Structure 1
């Protein structure tokens, strides 16, 4: 018979055994704690089937819950040890790595929010894209290295969302939203001269925050690019508007929650987040002058051309 100190192996197992019904309660609580991070990982990495009312995600959660429950019940005699090990791992993650209690909570909250408040995707059909009109003139007009443009962008980041916490990984995107807010709050739409397509440089638009859609797009792109953001211009029939690159599906969940609950709650209330997905799976939010919040409704959904500013 195996002995550890003065206790036999059997006595040691009995010592750590939790009596019913507490063992079942602890197993279920531990199951929930384990299932949530596993579900978040699976949700981010498995293909979304896009079933109605997110039935595929709900089914995935319950499958994981059931499997973990069966495993924990099979090892119920060492449930206490399992609880201790779980807590050690999550506490270690909280203190010494980048993923702990707070991260699990934030990821789960944003994921559930996105499942309830679906963003609205629009795919771009690459084969139908045409050459971008006035491409060279527009690129020349995006004066992102001009100190006046950068100073305006810096002013906007100091004025809006400076105190927002918990989005360190999306620092540049939050600052880009600050630029969007400053420009779109103050933009004055002015048409081009009759019969002529006038393209204003970013520094021209800066003086009065005025111009038409291509002037707005050029100015927005220049300001955001001057602080490290990535934008592109979208050409539709008779219209041009800017979009902001935010990342992939996982990033969209975070940004969707930030826009609707923290940054633009009034402007986006009861509205959806509109975005495009490119051929690489990258997600781009609409920043049109007509939008009151990032991801506002598109004026025209038929895309004719796209100009990405690397």
Structure 2
């Protein structure tokens, strides 16, 4: 009995999808690939001042055509590509951080973002790109370190301790106290030349010095140490912290506290700056350049958000 070696044509036929399913699968893959690719290009390419945003419409059409051609060239191994993709997602779901649920969430965020007007006060955060130094930042936010916890407690006793009538907003006021203490002491210092250095929050407490990512890490760790919910925003070349405020009613309370009680002089005749995420949660800007919680953004463009 001789072993028959399949020809290239036979292998190609076995790995090909039957018609018309090949066209359907290729079209669906085209859409799934084109949407995030378009949004990444939209974020990073200069927008031309064309009527009706024709430059972006043509860009999306060009992407669809190019991806369609590439997928049709690869359709003989499309089954293998899909299988590898599913295996990667299954592994991510069971053992990693990126699985089926994250894919669903990311596409939902992107579609939601495309349906909204991205005004600065209304910006929807689209998770398009990997968050830079994510694992280092998470490790650096050492909010359980006694030094971080004790500093946060010290800030809450030093500032706004005697504010009356807002017991239900105690945590918000204490987070604002942390902001004030760090703001009053922070000294901006660049990283070592040619190196991205991310200091632990407990390390930054020694001299209250560092660059924007060190400030963001320290602010996030101290807020988390007293029960608040922080996140760090990545804008490309800049990181800054935000704190979760809640819903519109909570925002009204925060604005009143900032402008009428806690930061009256700093916020006089100034706007309060915040972002609304895809779930309707409101996040207040705490950048080191802001003189009060909700101060002006240093950079409005958002490339990623890391909730801690």
TM-score tier (shorter): 0.5 to 0.7
Q: Partners in 1 of 2:131 and 2:253 — Cα distance? A: 32
Contact in 2 for aligned 1:122/1:275 (Cα 8 Å): yes
Contact in 2 for aligned 1:121/1:277 (Cα 8 Å): no
* Superimposed CA distance per residue, residues 232-262 of structure 1 (whole angstroms, 9 cap, x where no aligned partner): 0000021000001011001111110110010
Contact in 2 for aligned 1:275/1:284 (Cα 8 Å): yes
Q: Partners in 2 of 1:299 and 1:152 — Cα distance? A: 26
Q: Structure 1 residues 231 and 142 mapped into 2: Cα distance closer, same or farther (>3 Å)?
A: same
Quote the offset at 1:122 in angstroms. Answer: 2.5
Match of 1:272 in 2: 271
TM-score between both structures, scaled by the size of structure 1: 0.60
* Superimposed CA distance per residue, residues 35-83 of structure 1 (whole angstroms, 9 cap, x where no aligned partner): xxxxxxxxxxxxxxxxxxxxxxxxxxxxxxxxxxxxxxxxxxxxxxxxx
Q: Partners in 2 of 1:137 and 1:291 — Cα distance? A: 25
Match of 1:129 in 2: 128
Contact in 2 for aligned 1:213/1:241 (Cα 8 Å): yes
Q: Partners in 1 of 2:271 and 2:141 — Cα distance? A: 30
Match of 1:150 in 2: 149
Quote the offset at 1:168 in angstroms. Answer: 1.5
Match of 1:206 in 2: 205
Within 5 Å, which residues of 2 pair with 1:115-264? 122-127=121-126, 129-264=128-263
Q: Partners in 1 of 2:257 and 2:275 — Cα distance? A: 18
* Superimposed CA distance per residue, residues 184-217 of structure 1 (whole angstroms, 9 cap, x where no aligned partner): 1110000001111100011110000000000000
Quote the offset at 1:167 in angstroms. Answer: 1.3
Q: Partners in 2 of 1:219 and 1:189 — Cα distance? A: 13
Q: Partners in 1 of 2:173 and 2:188 — Cα distance? A: 25
* Superimposed CA distance per residue, residues 241-286 of structure 1 (whole angstroms, 9 cap, x where no aligned partner): 0001011001111110110010000000110000000001100000
Contact in 2 for aligned 1:129/1:303 (Cα 8 Å): no
Q: Partners in 2 of 1:253 and 1:183 — Cα distance? A: 24
Structure 2: give runs of 5+ residues left out of the alignment: 1-118
Quote the offset at 1:130 in angstroms. Answer: 1.7
* Superimposed CA distance per residue, residues 109-146 of structure 1 (whole angstroms, 9 cap, x where no aligned partner): xxxxxxxxxxx952334445322110000000001000
Contact in 2 for aligned 1:124/1:277 (Cα 8 Å): yes
Instruction: Please identify which structure carries the higher strand content.
Output: 1
Match of 1:107 in 2: none
TM-score between both structures, scaled by the size of structure 2: 0.60
Q: Structure 1 residues 230 and 127 mapped into 2: Cα distance closer, same or farther (>3 Å)?
A: closer
Within 5 Å, which residues of 2 pair with 1:4-153? 122-127=121-126, 129-153=128-152
User: Where do 4+ consecutive residues of structure 1 move more than 2 Å?
Assistant: 120-129
Contact in 2 for aligned 1:144/1:222 (Cα 8 Å): yes
Q: Partners in 2 of 1:289 and 1:250 — Cα distance? A: 26
Number of residue equivalences: 190
Q: Partners in 1 of 2:303 and 2:263 — Cα distance? A: 30
Q: Structure 1 residues 197 and 153 mapped into 2: Cα distance closer, same or farther (>3 Å)?
A: same
Q: Partners in 1 of 2:163 and 2:124 — Cα distance? A: 36
C-alpha root-mean-square deviation of aligned residues, in Å?
1.2
Q: Structure 1 residues 127 and 149 mapped into 2: Cα distance closer, same or farther (>3 Å)?
A: closer
